[in-house]
Amino acid sequence: MGASGWSYYVEYQPDLSKALDELRARIFAEGDYWWAEPSEIGKSASDYPDRPRTEEELWSSESVQESGTHSILDMQEMLRPGGKPDYGTVEPVSEAEALQCAGVTTLTRAHVEKIADLATQRWFGRCAVLHDDAGQPAEIYFWGFSGD
Q: Give the model confidence (pLDDT) of 12-54 as tens digits.
A: 999 999 999 999 999 999 999 999 988 888 899 999 999 999 9
Q: What are phi and psi of 22, to 5 degrees?
A: -65, -40
Write the single-letter amino acid at 122.
R
Rounded to two decimals, the pTM is 0.94
Strands 89-92 and 77-78: parallel
pLDDT tens track for 82-110: 888 889 999 999 999 999 999 999 999 99
